[in-house]
A and B are shown apart, each in its own frame.
Chain A
Amino acid sequence: MKRLVQRFFDAQRPRFTEGGRLARLYPFFDAMETVFFAPAHTTGIGPHVRDNLDVKRFMTLVIVCLLPHLFFGMYNVGYQSLTATGRSPDFLPACLIGLKAVLPMVIVTYAVGFFWEILFAAVRRHTISEGLFVTCMLFPLTLPPTTPLWQVAMGITFGIVIGKEVFGGTGRNFLNPALTGRAFLFFAYPVRMSGDAVWTYMGGQAAVDGFSGATPLALAAAAEGQEVVHTVLNQAGYDLWTLFLGRYAGSIGATSTLLCLVGAVALIAMGIASYRTIVGGVLGMLATGALLNLFAGPGTSPWLALNPVYHLVMGGAAFGLAYMATDPVSSPDMESARWLYGFLIGVLTVLIRVFNPAFPEGVMLAILFMNVFAPLLDHFIIKARLKRRMANT
């Protein structure tokens, strides 16, 4: 196996190197080859030894944590599709339907994402950063399963070109590219991206009578004055446990709070995600939810009375906190700023949900908003830190 792969790459190399027909695409060749073979580069200057961790492994581990979301998402899309069309939601058929709905979106995302990245890498003459692999995995997981492929292509294009490359590429971007793409679709195609119909993949079948397709977020937002919001959710089958496990209609990969929890714990344990951001975010949501409870009463929005824990398990909040808010490049650099950053994301998520029902998916806007403010948070903390430092000039 190793021999075969090596021979293949050795045979292809001349085409991509100086003088070869595809020399401009060397970054692509390099990205592919280094997936299989860690390069033999050695340290040119001291320190003579280096840590084994590289960006490739760093990003691969994030992808490994995202894969369960992809698989569960496929199953869930199929399951929702089968129940909505009145068929029996068996495991295998559900998986197959989900595969059919989701896989093309993933493939399109990667193909289009790679296209842009290689284009910029070739023009700028740098290598492809593995962050792309994560962006392209995250992006489809945040989409409704019915998103047409051309929109998928538009979204990832926007995310990569506007969210990242115009700022100078990976590492210089201050917005999370996957979320930028997602937000673009939300605002550019509001009809396709919201409403009750988009969250369930029908696969050409008709819905059963009485099927509404409303997500928990939509239901909670629409609950009328006197109704108790929990009752509404429960009646629709959205009890806390279902919401936590994630078997309900929503974005492809973002419904399961359980998987988010597992992924977050794994990322924190490996030191990849900042626990400060995540814990800060959870606290922010709970605190805001609890505070709003105090204002709940007859005549106010039913959202105010929602048990704060529901905020955590509904919609994409957990997914956003675990995988998007923790993107280190678009987070503040300072560890202490990350507490506040996470906390404010939590606060904003709940506030947007409650006070602007047009955007039930508050977490997306909350994170992008805080991405913009991350440098400001850093600025104050760094200033305070440098003030304490004894001058040495």
Chain B
Amino acid sequence: MNTLHVSKGYDLPLTGRPGTDLDVLPRPSRVALLPEHIPFIKPKLLVKEGDAISCGTPLFHDKRHPRVRFLSPGGGIIDAIEFGPRRVIRRVVIRLDETEAAESFQRFEEGQLRQTDRSALVEALLDGGLWPLLHALPFRDYPDPETQPPAIIVSLGDDEPFQADPAVYLAGRQDLFGYGMQVLARLAPQVFVSAPAGAGDALQAVSPWITHTVSGPYPALDPGVFLYRTRRSPADNRTWFVRGQDLLLMAGLLRDGRYPTERIVAIGGPATQRRRHAITRMGAPLKSMAETTAEASVRRVVGGVLRGFTGDADGYLGFHETALNLLPAGDQREFLAFVRPGTRKPSFSRTFLSALNRHRLPMDCNLHGELRPCVACNACMQVCPVEIMPQLTFKSLLADDIEEALAHGLLDCVECGLCSYVCPAKIELCDHFTRAKRRYHQEQTAA
């Protein structure tokens, strides 16, 4: 087992880590799929409101690769198809019925995996709607099914505040995990499994598969950071990755021949009352998942607090997300904020007395300032885990000089959000990079 230490990055001193206790949530009456939050895809609907569907019926496919389809996470009736501005499909809501019919898919005996054709597994994943759980670096789009990666990284654990703990979602599932590893071995010549260092006994059961233990501040466990630190040649940049919990879904599909929908979700954040893990299902409604503290207004972040999206009170989990974090909205004005000593105001800088406060602190969604020109404080450069110089890369993007931005390592950006987090000028660095990467990817694939 190799060890990897990542020194750059930053752990937000945020309260609200979910405990490792596991609740079972009651079966919801509706589930949904949110095409809007699946990056890059151009969905084409295959169903209409009122259609009766089973768990595993295709709801839409991606016009870019019609073989890539997204299946219904439940059986029942299409309750609503909601559109946003410019006819973006926001969500497809399914009203579950009692019986929930399910489609069946091809099964692979564990013993046969070794002899199975790679293409048969690819077809099965495409049919079973779980191909998009694979991601191709550097853009994090799902990989083109026609291609082969130099390697696949399985990342166990995500140190973004707050994501599901691998010790919780792997508990008792080592067989399934082992099955998944055999599948991946057929898909790529090399498979890496990265796990947090110091997880100790918690990951004992899967330790034979772990190839690297990774230590360091957020986002050390990100597969992009892993690649940045371990790549040997530019060809490695096209490595794929899959998240630990998603690998379990893929393994479940191929082993059991049913569309798996079980999700273990981390429920945390400073405005959540009972912070814990919960078993629920893909696309479950947020409503009854978490109780808020006494906060006046609360933001529901689906995913981690740095990369997640804002969900409405009556929203749903997405296809990829396995966390719900509640944060105080922070929409109040603060009197004479800039002169306060700030013992409870967390900051990457040392400009508040909180620099001496070792405790984790609550944070809210206030921007804590206004957009300003860059003051060259270099904080963004200090936190960037992949040694991009964000302020300079940003300037090249402003000047529309994509070549220079690429030379600066734009594609290595893991979209961790730390640079935006620390910036005192409140420049949306990470968002600029993410969008520039997306544009570049779209141009590349269109060409």
Q: Are B370 and A39 in contact (CB under 8 A)?
A: yes
How far does the alpha carbon of A172 sit from the alpha carbon of B376 in the complex, in Å?
10
Is B138 part of the contact surface with A, judged by Cβ < 8 Å? Answer: yes
Chain A residues closer than 8 Å to B422, beta-carbon distance: 51, 53
Question: CB-CB contacts of B361-373 with A at 8 A, as 1s and 0s?
Answer: 0011111111111
- A37, B333: Cβ atoms closer than 8 Å: yes
Nearest-CB distance from B350 to chain A (Å)?
Answer: 5
**Closest CB in chain B relative to A227 CB, distance in Å:** 45
A38 CB contacts on chain B under 8 angstroms? 333-335, 337-338, 366, 368-369
Question: Which secondary structure characterizes the binding site on chain B?
Answer: loop
Encode B333-376 as 1/0 by CB contact (under 8 A) with A: 11111110010011111111010000000011111111111111
Find out whether the CB atom of A329 lies under 8 angstroms from the CB atom of B375: yes
Contact of B426 among A54, A61, A130 (CB under 8 A): A54
B430: chain A residues within 8 A (beta carbon): 46-47
Alpha-carbon gap, A183 to B361, bound state (A): 47
B312-348: CB near A (< 8 Å → 1, else 0) gives 0000000000000001011111111111001001111
B338 touches A392 (CB 8 A): no
Asked whether A41 lies within 8 Å of B367 as measured between CB atoms, the reply is yes
B346-A52 in contact (CB<8A):
yes
**A57, A127, A169, A390 — which one has the most chain B CB atoms within 10 A of its CB?**
A57
Among A37, A271, A329, A335, which residue has its beta carbon within 8 angstroms of that of B350?
A: A271
Please give the number of chain B residues whose Cβ is less than 8 angstroms from any Cβ of chain A in the complex.
Answer: 77
Q: How large is the interface on A (under 10, 10 to 19, 20 to 34, 35 or more residues)?
A: 35 or more
Residues of B within 8 A of A390 (CB): 231, 233-234
Distance in Å: Cβ of A362 to nearest Cβ of chain B: 25
Interfacial residues of chain A within 235-264, with CB under 8 A of chain B in the complex: none
For the complex, give the distance between the alpha carbons of A43 and B426 in Å.
10
Whether the Cβ atoms of A50 and B366 lie closer than 8 Å is yes
* A45 surroundings in chain B (CB, below 8 A): 428, 431
Q: Which residues of B contact A57 (CB under 8 A)?
A: 338, 351, 424
Q: Which residues of B contact A335 (CB under 8 A)?
A: 378, 381
A123 at the interface (CB under 8 A from B): no
**Quick check: which of B74-82, B88-96, B409-417 contacts chain A, the rest being far away?**
B409-417
Of listed A56, A131, A169, residue having the most chain B CB within 10 A: A56
Residue A11, interface by CB 8 Å:
no
The answer to whether B392 and A49 touch across the interface, beta carbons within 8 angstroms, is: no
Residue from B337, B365, B376, B412 within 8 A of A49 (CB atoms): B365
Rounded to whole angstroms, the CA-CA distance of A22 and B252 in the bound complex is 66
Residue from B138, B372, B377 with most neighbouring chain A CB atoms (10 Å): B372
A281 to chain B, nearest CB (A): 18
Tell me which residues across on chain B come within 8 A of A393, comparing CB atoms: 406, 411
In the bound complex, residues from chain A placing their C-beta under 8 Å from that of B41 are: none
Chain A residue with Cβ nearest B138 = A392
- Report whether A48 and B368 are in contact in the complex, using a CB–CB cutoff of 8 Å: no
Listed A/B pairs (6) with beta-carbon separation below 8 Å: A37-B336, A40-B332, A41-B370, A61-B351, A270-B350, A328-B376
Q: What are the 9 A-B residue pairs with the smallest beta carbon separation, nearest first?
A: A54-B369, A171-B373, A38-B337, A47-B417, A328-B376, A52-B345, A47-B306, A38-B334, A49-B363
Apart from A38-B338, A46-B309, A393-B406, list 10 A-B contacts with CB within 8 A.
A37-B334, A38-B366, A40-B330, A40-B333, A48-B301, A48-B327, A50-B368, A51-B349, A57-B338, A329-B376
Residues of B within 8 A of A (CB): 12, 14, 138, 231, 233-234, 237, 299, 301, 305-310, 327, 329-339, 342, 345-352, 354, 363-379, 381, 387, 389, 391-392, 406-409, 411-412, 417-418, 420-426, 428, 430-431
